[in-house]
Amino acid sequence: MQLIACPWCGPREELEFSYGGQAHVAYPSDPAALTDEQWARFVFFRDNPKGPFAERWAHSAGCRRWFTAVRDTRTHRFLSVGPLAASGSGATS
Amino acid sequence: MSRVEGYGRVDRGRTVTVTVDGTAYTGHPGDTLASVLLAHDARPLDTSIKYGRPRGIGAAWVEDPTGLVQIEEPFPEPMVLASTVEITDGLVARGVDGQGRLSQVADVARYDHRHVHCDVLVVGAGPAGLTAARRAAREGLDVVLVDDRPEPGGTLTGTETIDGRPSREFVADVVAELAALPTVTHLQRTTAFGHHDDGLVLALERRTRGASRQRVHRIRAARVVIAAGAIERPIVFEDDDRPGVMLAASARDFLHRHGVLAGREVVVCTSDDAAYAAAVDLLDAAAAVRVLDARSRVPEVWARRCAERGIEVSAGTQVRGTRGDDRVTAALVGEERHEVPCDLLLVSGGWNPTVHLFTHVGGRLTWDPALGAFRPGTPLPGVEVVGAADGVFDLAGCLRQAGGPDAPHADEEPGEPTMVLWRTAGDPARQFVDLQRDATVADIARAVGAGMRSVEHVKRYTTIGTAHDQGKTSGIVASGITAELLGRPIEDLGTTTFRPPYTPVAFAALAGRARGDLYDPVRTTPIHDRHVAAGAEFEDVGQWKRARHYPRVGEDMTAAVLRECAAVRTSVGVMDGSTLGKIDVRGPDAAVLLDRLYTNVMSSLKVGRVRYGVMCGNDGMVLDDGTVLRLADDRFLVTTTTGNAAAVLDRMEEWLQTEWPDLRVRLTSVTEQLAIVAVAGPRSRDVVGAVFADVDVTNEAFGFMSWQDTALDGVPVRLARISFSGELAFEVSVGSWYAAAVWDRLLEAGRPYGITPYGTETMHVLRAEKGYPIIGQDTDGTVTPHDLGLGWAVSRKKPDFLGKRSFARPQNQDPRRKQLVSLLPVDAATKLPEGSQIVDLAEDGRLPAPPVPMLGHVTSSYHSAALARPFALALVKGGRERIGEVVGVPVAGELVAAQIGDTVLVDPEGARRDG
C-alpha cells in the first residue's frame, strides 16, 4: 500500500484516494461546435504513456479535495503533487 | 528417549502432554511438536502425496518441507508444521497425507489488527537484528523489533562468544536494554510475512496472552532493516526424502533449544563449514558422528576440533543415497556406495540468504559465486539488509555490519569457501527436490526436455516450490539443477519470484475483527426498530437495511406485496424513504451548478417548488435521477437514489472543484440527518391533514410538486407533494431524532383508514405500474433519458449541460435504440423472470434454432394488484414503434408471448395524483 502525499493532508495511504484519470483535459468551451469525432475524443480518449503522467487524484476519504499529481506509470512512484490549476482541470464523466 | 541432560532451554520442571496420531507424548514448555516427536523417536508422521513414501521431520523451523500435521484440538487447523507448533496441554494432532481439514464450526477465537508507525523496523532478532535494533534505539529512534521464533537470539546456540561472554548472555543484555526503553517495541512469535510499498510491513503475531489469538501488525516504518537470517540448503541425492535426513543446523537447533538429540549414529554430509558445528555439538552430546565433506580441503580449525574428539572426517567424499524402511538406517557413501550405518543423516549444501522481504518490494538479487548463493543486489531506498540475509554468514561479520562504530565483537573464524553442490550422482527419479510435492530431478529433466527454459516455467511444470513452504529449501536447488541441465550459469536463470506471505497466514487473521456483524457497516434508518417490530423482511441496498415488505402471518412476499399495493391504491400506505441520498446545495451559484448537472432547467424553479431531474454523464447516458427542492434563492435540496448517494455527491464535488471552481457553491450530505416518510394513497391527505392540522393540505393550497414547512410539537417538519406511485402522496421529512415519533403519529392518524406500512418491493411495483424507471434496475449505463421516455426532462433551451452534446450524435437519434416499454404476458398469468431475453415470436411459437436475434431484455417484473395480472418493464429495440406487437420471452424452455405496451399501465391520465 503506497503512501500518497496529499497537498493538504500530507502522506496518507493509497486506500484513502480515488483516481481521476489524465489531468488537464479541459471540458470544451463550446461542445456544440465540435464534430462528433472531436467530442468522442474528449469523452473517451486519454493518453497512456509509459513514464511520467499528469493525473488527477481525489483524497476521497480525507479532505475530499482534488489535486494533480505526476506519477511514473512504470514504477507507480509519485514524482510530484500539487493543487489543481485554476480551472479546466478536467472532469471525467 | 533422546533427551540430553544439560542441553536445551525447555522448562524441564514442568510436563506437557500432547497426542499425535493417537499416541500420548510428554514434553516440556518450550518444546515444539517436532522436538517432542524426535525426543520419543516417534514413527514417521505422514506419507507423501504422490508416491506414499514415509515423511518425518526435516528441519527445525518454517523451512521444513515435510513434517506437516493437522491440529485437531484445541481448534482444527490444517497443514501446519510440527516444527513450528509450540506444545500446550491437551494439544491433539495427526500427520496429514497431503490435505488437511478445515473446521466445520466457527472459530470462536478472536483475531485483530494493530497499526504501528515507527522510525525503524528490524525484522529478525538474531545477532545482526539485535545489534541493529540496539544501535537504532541508542540513537533515540522509535524502533520495532519483530522475530518469528518464540525466543530471541536467532541461530545463537550459546556456544558462541560475544564481547568475551557466552552469546546467550549477550542476547539477554540486549533484550533487557531494549525492554527498558519506551521507544522500543519488541515482539517475538511475530512473523513479518509481507513487505510492501513505502515501508509497510505486515507481521503476524501468535499471541500467548491477551484477548486475541493472533494479531496482524500493520507496521509503517521509515526504515526497514531486514535481518531475517539464512536458510540452510540441502544437497540432493538418491532417497534423500527418507525420515532421518535432516538439515545439519536443525539438528543443532533441536539439541540447543530443546535438549533433544535427533539421532545417536550421525553422518554429516556437507559442502560447507557450518555443518561442522553440528558434528561437534552432537558428538559432545554423546552421539557417534562421522563427517563427509564434498570439498577436497577440510577447514583447518574444524579438522582440529574433529580430531580432538575423534570424529572421522572424509574429504572429497559425497553421499549418494540412503537405505532404510521407515527411516534411514545407512548412508551410501562415495562412488562405491559404501554403506555407513546411521540413524541421522545431516545435510548442508551451504546457506541461502532469506531475501524474501527484500524481493517483495522489487529488490533484485545477485549471484555471489563465493557464497554459492543469491544475495540482495542494488540497495533499495529505505531498506537495509544485514547479517546472513545479506550473505554475511560469519558471526563476527554480522555484528560488525549491523553494529556500526560500537559493534559487539566476536572472534573471526577462518574457513574454506562453500562448494556449490546441487546434487550428487545417482538415479534422478529417486532424487527428491521438493519433498512435499514429491518432485524429483527427473521431473526437472522432463520440464527441460519439454522445452522449459525459465525457472518460473519449470516451477509450474514440476510444482516444485508450490507447497506450504513455497520452496524455502527446494527453490534455489531447483534453479541450480535446471541450470546444470541447460548447461547455463545459474545467474542467468535466477530464482522464482518470492511473493507474500512468507509463511502461511490464516484468513481469519487477515480478516481480523472485520467478520460477522463487523464485516461491513450496516446502515439503518432512524425508524428501523419500528420496521423490526412490525415484522418486516429486510433487503440490503448497499449498506442499508430497507424494509422490503411486512408479511402478515401466513403471507408470502407476493401476497404481502399485493396487499400493500392494494392499500396504497385504495386507501393509504406509509413507507420509510430515509435512505434516499440528500444533498444540501448552497451558495449564490447553486442554480448555475444544477443547471449544468441536470438535463432540465433548475434555475427557473421557484422557491417552494419541487422538480424531478435527471443527471447524465458526458456520454449522454443516465447516471441518476431524483427530486430537487428549491429552499431559497441560493439553496436547494437534491435527492438521489439510495445506492448512488455517495457517487452523485462525489461527482458534483469533482465538477465543482476541477472544472467550475469559480462557482460559489457548497455541497453537504444530509442523508443521515433527514428522515423521509412517504404517505401515499387517496386517503393520504386525510392522514397528513390530521397530523399537521395547521397546514392547508387542499390541492389548491398545497399543489403537486410543492413543499411547505411546518412544525409538530415545536419540531420543524417539511411536507412535500411528491409521488412515486401516481397516487396522491406526501413526503414528510424531519430531523432523524424525531423520525420514529413522526412515523408513530402518522400510523396513529391513519388507523381509521387502515393505514398500511409498505416496503421497497411494494414501492417498486407501484412505480412500475406508472412506468417510472429505477436507475440501475431499468438502466445499465447504455440508456439515455430519451430511451426511458424522459425526453420531456431534457432541456432544449439550455446552451449546454453534461451529456447534451452526446444527444446530438446520430446514434442517439436512431429509432432502433432499445427503449423502455411495458410487457404484458398474453396468458395474463406468467411473471416473466427479470433479465429474460426478448425475441421475435415465431409462427409455431417455438424458439428458432440459434443464432436468435435478441430484441432486448426484461428489466422489472411483478404481480400487479391494480391490474390483477403480472406485468413487466423491458428495454426493447425500437420498442415504442412496436407498441401493440407481440414478442416472445423464453421462460424455462417455453416461449411466452407478451404484448408490448406503453410504460404507464395504471391511471394513464394521471387523474389520481391530486386525490
Any chain B CB within 8 A of the CB of A17? no
Q: Is B613 helix (H, G, I), strand (E, B) or coil?
A: strand
Question: What residue ranges in B400-472 does DSSP mark as E strands?
Answer: 432-434, 439-440
Judge whether A24 lies within some domain.
yes
pTM of the model: 0.90
Whether residues A91 and B198 touch (CB distance < 8 A) is answered with no
Contact list, B662 vs chain A (CB under 8 Å): 87
Question: Strand (E) positions, B721-811?
Answer: 729-735, 756-757
Name the residue in chain A with its Cα closest to that of B202: A1
- Band the pLDDT of B49: cuts 50, 70, 90: confident
A93 and B CB contact within 8 Å: yes
Residues 6 or more apart from B853 whose CB is under 8 A from it? Answer: B839, B840
Q: Helix, strand, or coil here: B568?
A: helix
Any A CB within 8 A of B809 CB: yes
Q: What share of chain A is helix, strand, coil (3-state, %, to 5)?
A: 15, 35, 50
Q: How many CB atoms lie within 10 A of CB B602?
A: 24
Torsion of CA B650, B652, B657, B661, to 10 degrees: -170
- Closest to A43 (Cβ–Cβ): which among B618, B651, B661? B618
pLDDT at B100: 80
Nearest CB neighbour to B660, from listed A39, A58, A87: A87
Nearest chain B residue to A33, by CA = B805
pLDDT tens-digit map of B166-210? 999 999 999 999 999 999 999 999 999 999 999 999 999 999 888
Kindly state whether residue A65 falls inside one of the protein's structural domains: yes
DSSP B848-890: PSSP----EEEEEEEEETTTTEEEEEEEEETGGGGTT-EEEEE
Residue B850: all three cell numbers together = 440459434
User: Which residue type sits at B424?
Assistant: T
In angstroms and rounded to an integer, the radius of gyration of the C-alpha atoms of chain A is: 14
Q: Can you state the angle between helices B557-570 and B760-769, rounded to 10 degrees?
A: 60
Residue in chain B closest to A89 (alpha carbons) equals B658
Beta carbons of A42 and B618 less than 8 Å apart: yes
In this complex, the residue of A1, A26, A87 whose CB is nearest that of residue B196 is A1
Between CA B683 and CA B570 the distance in angstroms is 8
Q: What is the pLDDT along chain A (93 residues), one digit of tens a residue?
A: 999 999 999 999 999 999 999 999 999 999 999 999 999 999 999 999 999 999 999 999 999 999 999 999 999 999 999 887 644 556 555
Q: In this model, does residue B426 exceed pLDDT 80? A: yes
Instruction: Calculate what percentage of chain B has a pLDDT beyond 70.
Output: 100
Q: Return the residue in A6, A15, A27 with the most chain B beta carbons within 10 A, the one to mutate for interface testing.
A: A27
A87/B662 Cβ within 8 A = yes
Residue A93 lies in a domain: no
Write the DSSP symbol of residue B389: G
Q: Which position has the higher pLDDT, B388 or B102? A: B388
Contact B658 A91 (CB under 8 A): yes
Q: Is B239 helix (H, G, I), strand (E, B) or coil?
A: coil
pLDDT tens digits along B217-263 = 999 999 999 999 999 999 999 999 999 999 999 999 999 999 999 99
Contact A89/B at CB under 8 A: yes
Q: What percent of chain B has pLDDT over 90?
A: 92
pLDDT of residue B531: 98
Closest CA to B823 of B767, B766, B759, B888: B888
CA distance A32 to chain B (A): 6
Task: Decide if A73 is inside a domain.
Answer: yes
Contact assignment for B650 to A26 by CB distance below 8 Å: no
Residues forming a β-bridge with A4: A12
Q: Residues of B numbered 591-620 whose beta carbons fall under 8 angstroms of chain A's beta carbons: which are they?
A: 617-619
CA dist B394 and B396 (Å) reads 6
Question: pLDDT-derived band of residue B588, with 50, 70 and 90 as boundaries?
Answer: very high
**Is B659 within 8 Å of chain A by CB?**
yes
Whether the link from the prior residue into B851 is cis, omega within 30° of 0, is yes
Judge whether A30 lies within some domain. yes
Domain count, chain A: 1
Considering only alpha carbons, which residue of chain B is nearest residue A87?
B659
pLDDT, position A91:
59
CATH number of the domain that residue A39 is part of? 3.30.2270.10
Which residues are CB-contacts of B901 (< 8 A; sequence separation ≥ 6)? B821, B822, B823, B824, B883, B884
Distance CA B541, CA B360 (A): 39
* CB B89, CB B16: distance < 8 Å: yes
Cβ–Cβ below 8 Å for A60 and B198: no
Is residue B441 a contact partner of residue B431, using CB atoms and an 8 Å limit? yes
User: By the CB < 8 Å criterion, does A91 face chain B?
Assistant: yes
Å from B818 to nearest chain A CA? 21
Residue A78 lies in a domain: yes
pLDDT at residue B99, rounded to an integer: 76
Q: A87 and B800 in contact by Cβ < 8 A?
A: no
- Residue B746: closest CA among B734, B763, B759, B737: B734
| Residue A46 lies inside a defined structural domain of this protein | yes
CA atoms within 13 A on the CB side of B595: 15
- Which is it for the CA torsion B255, B260, B265, B267, positive or negative? negative
Instruction: Report residue B484: phi and psi, to 5°.
Output: -60, -45
Strand B432-434 and strand B610-616: pairing?
unpaired
A92 to chain B: which residues are within 8 Å by CB? 654
Whether A57 and chain B come into contact, CB under 8 Å, resolves to: no
Locate A12 and state its grid cell: 496518507
Nearest chain A alpha carbon to B194: A1
Task: Tell whether B180 lies on the interface with A, counting CB pairs under 8 A.
Answer: no
Q: Is residue A48 part of a domain?
A: yes
Average pLDDT over residues B900-913: 95
Q: Please tell me which of the candidates A39, A66, A91 has its beta carbon nearest to residue B805.
A: A39
Q: What would the pLDDT profile of B750-775 be if each residue is shown by its tens digit?
A: 999 999 999 999 999 999 999 999 99
Average confidence (pLDDT) over B437-450: 97
pLDDT at A88: 53
- Min Cα distance B657 → chain A (Å) is 7
- Do B617 and A93 make contact, defined as CB atoms within 8 angstroms? yes
How far apart, in whole angstroms, are the C-alpha atoms of residue A33 and residue B801? 14
If we measure between CA atoms, which residue out of B126, B127, B122, B129 comes closest to residue B145?
Answer: B122
A57 chain-B contacts, CB cut-off 8 A: none
Strand partners of residue B667? B585
For range B658-680, the mean pLDDT: 96
Query: A-B interface: how many C-beta pairs under 8 angstroms?
Result: 74
Q: Which residues from chain B sit within 8 angstroms of residue A22, using beta carbons?
A: none
Give the torsion sign (CA, B358, B359, B363, B365): positive
Query: Residue B387 has what pLDDT?
Result: 97
Give the C-alpha separation, B564 to B445, whole Å: 73
Residue B654: how many CA atoms within 13 Å on its side-chain side?
25
Cβ-contact B327, B44 below 8 angstroms? yes
In terms of Cβ atoms closer than 10 Å to its own Cβ (0-12, 13-18, 19+), residue B761 is buried
Touching A: B residues 11-40, CB under 8 Å:
none
pLDDT-based confidence at residue B844 (cuts at 50, 70, 90) = confident
pLDDT-derived band at B343 (thresholds 50, 70, 90) equals very high
**Chain A contact for B804 (CB, 8 A cutoff):** yes
Residue type, B247: L
Range of the domain at A60: 3-83
ipTM over 0.90: yes
CA-nearest residue to B652 within chain A is A91
- Grid cell locating B534: 412490525
